Structure 1
Amino acid sequence: MWVSLALLLLGALASVLAPRLLSRPDWPEREPVVALWVWQCVVAGVLLCFGLSMTFSAAAAWQLVRGHVFAPAPHGVVEAYALGAHEPWAAVLAVLLACGGLWTGAMLTREIHRARVRRRKRRTEHLVRSPLLPGEEPGSEPLAVLEGERPDAWWLPGAAPQLVITTAALRRLKGRQLDAVLAHEQGHAQARHDWLRHCSGALANGFPQVPVFAAFRDEMHRLVELAADDVASRRFGRLTIALALVELNEDRGVFGPCPTPHAQLPQRVNRLLTPAPRLTAGHRLRLTAAAALVPVVPLVVAFVPGLRALG
């Protein structure tokens, strides 16, 4: 039973401390792709802590679960975990964690459903604003141009992903600026950033009081934009994509003194115009490897008693 409690405590500590530790360094803005990987590993580690804690609690509470979990294990390994010593508490903890897992699945399902509803609504609006030509199938074209007075461009994910751009954006963006905006949106599509947003949104909405999930959602929204900016800047230059962002958003009051929903844009433009040096390849490799070890920690905690018994 102590293994289950240790995993629960480890997950709780990581939930509180991880956002504070990851918010201190400045390297995530310099390496957003690595930062995305680090955040995913941290959240995976937290979820793994809770999942393993639920498994060991259920094994301690019910003989049927114990028989399945420890079916191939020697008798000495089962005794090393001291299962069955606190069955009532174990049952309560297992049920609570199982409810949390079911709630997480429900939130993710709801998030995906809402995203699909939004996509269908936007596709319907697109068909109204830009009717199909005779013989043309919905979503058959990877690029759609809509009449619009506001310059804008966005990627519409789905089974038939489509890049949408307004006529105002075509008139305003000059040459390579348009190519850079398209590369930015393609960067989102190739990295499947929509799934990161769905997962982070589901966790944050389902467990708003858990700091790591709220921070995960906020950082995903910020880091995916920085990563897509870097994709475009590597192909067309930082100045080009920075000017394109200004052209697309200068009429929205983004760059004024009052905060707006797009308040990240000035920071993105400043980051592009005054880039900080990238981390060395060795530093990036060390960060990536260290992050990959985070989900291993709860596995080590879970297997320590069994390994000691076998040793």
Structure 2
Amino acid sequence: MSALPALLLLCLLLAVLGPRLLARARWSEREPVLALWAWQCLVVAVLLCFGLALLLTAAAAWPQARALLFTGAPPGVEDAYGFGLARPWAVAGAFLLAVGGVRTALALAIEVRSARALRRRRERELSRQAPELPPDLLGGRRLEGGERLVVLENAQPRAWSVLGPSTRMVVTTGALHRLSDRELAAVLAHERGHVQARHHWLLHCAEALNNGFPGARIFHLFREQVGHLVELAADDSAARRHGRLATAVALVELNTAMGPAPTCPSALAEIPGRVDRLLSGTPRLPVSRRLRLTVAALAAVSAPLALAVAPGLRALF
């Protein structure tokens, strides 16, 4: 059965070499959205190798699973995978892969449950402590997409978003005192960038994979890099609308005295680098290079599928 060893070898190569290449890539800070896409494709490719290997080992271990998997397949396709020779060790392999799948599902369920509990707790706290901010505080403009702007009485300069049926942008009185109107708008645009790109789901998935496989370096680096890249992507989103200078000044004002916002995973030590990046205004990568990187990321996702169906296609043609 050539497909299964090829999938396991590809999984090993992607899990070992892929994170090293992406973590050291100098272009990632110039293209954080593309870097996030590349990381997601890498992780999906590894999980695809894992899932497809589970299907093949299950088919080799149990004839019932094999019959279900190859229902409606043309003659000769099933024989091309050579399942008859693999059964003695396939049961143990299927069991180990199934344990990994269950751990991943449990870790994701726990992470989603914890996130929902935290969101509900924050919503209750806000409903007790914070009134809705009058729209005339922002020059008479209302927030986008039905969002609510909530002010919290607190001397610490902070701002964050609370997800729910209607997203709420929360700012403290300390932030209102320290930020100008343009800087406050940049802060809100930063948080809106997180919400619109669904960065919270990406962070939850990264955390769940790291918790499910604490010894796997790929998932540790994925969580670490995602936490950094989502902040750069949100910085760029704010800078495009309100300018790099206003975004950089707001970032300094919110973090120099009291540390990062509660929902912001980047460490305080990263703030100088993010500010320097905003002020330097480094141009984006050429379109041709962005296209090549996108194709490479898609190729990583397509490779497991190609390996899994290759024996069947050879039998047909």
| Structure 2 partner of 1:90 | 90
Among 275, 281, 300, which residue is 1:275 paired with? 281
User: Residues of 1 paired with 2:315 and 2:147: CA distance?
Assistant: 61
- What is the 5 A alignment of 1:31-180? 31-130=31-130, 142-180=148-186
Secondary structure, counterpart of 1:74 in structure 2? coil
| Structure 1 partner of 2:269 | 263
C-alpha deviation, 1:75, in angstroms: 2.9
| Structure 1 partner of 2:2 | 2
Which portions of structure 1, spanning 4 or more consecutive aligned residues, are displaced by more than 3 angstroms? none
Post-superposition Cα deviations, 1:94-139, rounded to whole Å, max 9, x if no partner, equal: 1111111111111011001111111112122212322689xxxxxx
Q: Structure 2 vs 1, CA of residues 6 and 245 (structure 1 numbering), >3 Å: closer, same or farther?
A: same
C-alpha deviation, 1:84, in angstroms: 2.4
Preserved CA contact (<8 Å) 2:132 2:148: no
Which consecutive unaligned segments of at least 5 residues does structure 2 have? Answer: 134-145, 261-265
| Structure 1 partner of 2:19 | 19
**Farther off after superposition, 191-200 or 22-31:** 22-31
Normalising to structure 2: TM-score of the pair?
Answer: 0.90
Post-superposition Cα deviations, 1:226-249, rounded to whole Å, max 9, x if no partner, equal: 000000101111111000011111
| Structure 2 partner of 1:291 | 297
Preserved CA contact (<8 Å) 1:4 1:54: no
Normalising to structure 1: TM-score of the pair?
Answer: 0.92
Give the aligned residue type for 2:205: C
1:193 aligns with 2:205: no
User: Residues of 1 paired with 2:122 and 2:166: CA distance?
Assistant: 13
User: Residues of 2 paired with 1:265 and 1:209: CA distance?
Assistant: 29
Secondary structure, counterpart of 1:158 in structure 2? coil
| Number of residue-to-residue matches in the alignment | 300
C-alpha deviation, 1:12, in angstroms: 2.0
Identity %: 53
User: Residues of 2 paired with 1:253 and 1:63: CA distance?
Assistant: 58
User: Residues of 1 paired with 2:286 and 2:3: CA distance?
Assistant: 39
Secondary structure, counterpart of 2:151 in structure 1? strand
| Structure 2 partner of 1:257 | none
Give the aligned residue type for 1:298: P
Among 303, 307, 316, which residue is 1:310 paired with? 316
Which consecutive unaligned segments of at least 5 residues does structure 1 have? Answer: 134-139, 255-259
Give the aligned residue type for 2:275: V
Preserved CA contact (<8 Å) 1:16 1:210: no
- What is the 5 A alignment of 1:238-257? 238-252=244-258
Give the aligned residue type for 1:8: L
Give the aligned residue type for 1:151: P
Give the aligned residue type for 2:104: T
